[in-house]
């Protein structure tokens, strides 16, 4: 009965007709990649290389997370995103004004709060008073919103 309860929660699969036929679900073995750096300051050149992977966990929002980025800089410290933190990025979560997003501006990537978005003007706000807003004209500059920040991991030392 205990094993059936664990199976219902999705942690294991009981194979019928097999002696000791218990296996861990594959979803527990899935990994989310840490694929590079994102600027929390001025934008930095985007480099996509897999630094490491982090196992998916049912305790985290890992179904929403497509990848992690390591933060460089201090422009988001007022909302608790510090240098060396890992932010979980989701491509599928809709971005709206007020969301913390990862934006690619002319092949440079940055994490900022989306303040305004129209055809002629996009305003990205750093959450640190020492930095100015980034104002982008999508008609002139190449702008792509890579995803929304849906999680934050801080590695203990």
Tell me, yes or no, if 62 is annotated catalytic.
Answer: no
Active-site residue among 62, 72, 75, 90?
Answer: 75
The three-class DSSP label of residue 121 is coil
Q: Map tokens 């640190």 to a residue.
A: 128
DSSP for 74-113, written as a single string: STTGGGT--TT-EEEEESSSPP-TT-EEEEEETTEEEEEE
Active-site residue among 62, 72, 90, 112?
Answer: 112
For residue 1, CA distances in Å to 8, 19, 45, 109, 133 come to: 11, 16, 54, 51, 58
* Alpha carbons 148 and 157: distance in angstroms, whole number: 27
Q: Map tokens 């933190």 to a residue.
A: 85
Please compute Rg for the chain using Cα positions.
19
Tell me, yes or no, if 75 is annotated catalytic.
Answer: yes
Q: List active site positions.
A: 75, 112
């Amino acid at each position: 009965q205990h094993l059936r309860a664990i199976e219902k929660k999705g942690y294991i699969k009981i194979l019928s007709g097999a002696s000791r036929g218990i296996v861990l679900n594959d979803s527990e073995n899935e990994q989310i990649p840490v694929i590079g750096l994102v600027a929390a300051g001025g934008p930095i050149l985007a480099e996509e290389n897999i630094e490491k992977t982090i196992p998916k966990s049912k305790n985290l929002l890992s179904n929403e997370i497509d990848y992690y980025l390591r933060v460089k800089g201090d422009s988001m410290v007022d909302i608790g995103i510090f240098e060396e933190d890992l932010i979980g990025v989701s491509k599928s979560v809709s971005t709206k004004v007020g969301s913390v997003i990862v934006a690619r501006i002319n092949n440079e990537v940055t994490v900022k709060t989306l303040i305004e978005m129209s055809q002629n003007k996009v305003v990205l706000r750093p959450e640190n008073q020492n930095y100015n807003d980034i104002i982008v004209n999508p008609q002139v500059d190449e702008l792509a919103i890579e995803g929304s920040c849906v999680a934050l991991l801080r590695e203990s030392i």
